[in-house]
Structure 1
Amino acid sequence: MVKRILLVAGLLAMAPCHAGPPQLFITTEHSPPAIMLEGERVAGYSSDKIHEIMARTGVRYSIDVLPWKRAYTSAVQRQDGCVYATTRTPEREALFKWVGPTDEGAWVLLGRADRNYQLSTLEDARGLRIGTYNGDVRDDYLRARGFTVDPAPNDMLNPQKLLLNRIDLWATGARPGGGVLEQNGWAGKIVPVLVFNRVKAYLACNRAVPDALIDRMNAALDAMNRDGTSRRIERKYDNWTPRKQADGDPAAAR
């Protein structure tokens, strides 16, 4: 079920002339500890940075947690849309206006612990079946370079496919403290094989979002980086451990 949280900056909430719908409709995906629901609040180190940017710029906004393809498409189609945490690629550059980088990360190939992979570079994975998350940036990247991909509608189907030998490798994002393997009992069964790219993530906004607003959000993020706020937010989640997923919780996507 899609859950929405509407957050209104305090100063704006006290001013009647600012009452109304969100100024920005922001979408994202469930990806703890970067992005996750805590009750009715979208939390995580990426989300908390977005909240802080909006508070500093006084922007009304909403956040919807959606499957990645829907989240991304919404930002492309809606004139008030933004999506995070989005990798900035040449293919996407002209589609959005960019705020960030907000985070850094790595793309990794994971494999079975009981298999002897001989991978020094991504090229060594040619001919192997690589499980991807349909429509995400790693899926697009590997397809464009002619690799054999087996996309799944939910990234958490890929480790199961890997253990059943339906794929040879799983291409996903490495996040500090993600805990996905431990949480699902896959630690020791699935291991990192190769880091094949290092990337920076952004808040990507529709081209119709005013340049002045993009500049204000980038200025707010720059100030957060200078005054230590960004690092303080990240430290809050340094010791984060995943709880056991309850029935109905969204599956971790990235």
Structure 2
Amino acid sequence: MKTNALDTLGAWLLGLLWFLPLLYAVWAAFHPSAYAAHFDLTAPLTLANFAAAWEAAPFARYFVNTFLLVTMVLAAQFVLCTLAAYAFARFEFKGRDLMFMLVLLQLMIMPDVLIVENYRAMSWLGVNDTIFAIGLPYFASAFGIFLLRQTFKTVPRELEEAARVEGASRWQILMRVYVPLAKPIYIAYGLVSVSYHWNNFLWPLIITKSVNTRPITVGLQVFASSDQGIDWSVITAATLLSAAPLLIAFLLFQRQFVQSFMRAGIR
């Protein structure tokens, strides 16, 4: 009982640490700047901060860029990680274990360490300042390969052998046996991938220069570099605009989110 009480208390404390900044952002965004620094229940509500934020930056362009980015990266990761994971799980070839260890080694390397080399590679390819350049270094995910490989290894070989007896090809076995059984993993990993690339900032900031290619996280810096000073109400309104799609998606599908992570075994 004591352990459960401590766990509950810890969960509440962590929840408050996450919720208080969000509560302040909501308060400041819906109230005039004069009330942003303190809570006053008599303060008037306003949507002017959202209008000012929308006019200060091309949010429509940023949203389109971000949506294209996360969709492109997720599609590439699903294809490449599925093929690599299936090969590591079911194929026997020389150097397989060594190659898989090299994949796992990437999990211990911070992406920021590779920024310089990635920038040089994008420059050599001539794709700087494009959405493609933002997503290309993330097309293959060591984390995704590891999750899918572990899942594919739990699939009974009898299912594959039965499908082969029925005349199914390797591709058909993969798509009709392995992929459907790994659906919770795909959902859980998809949530992680979309959230990461929606909020990624440093690499998109370095590789892009124009409004037409920058995602929404980089676009938000315009509010921090204003010559007229920092207006926290407008900044919080812009922040809520950028985070709204992820927050709404979580509120609408939180049950599916939690179930996917539980079935995937991610703790």
Q: Same fold (TM over 0.5)?
A: no
Q: TM-score, normalised by structure 2?
A: 0.24
Q: Which has the larger radius of gyration?
A: 2
Q: TM-score, normalised by structure 1?
A: 0.25
Higher relative contact order (CA 8 A, sep 6+): 2
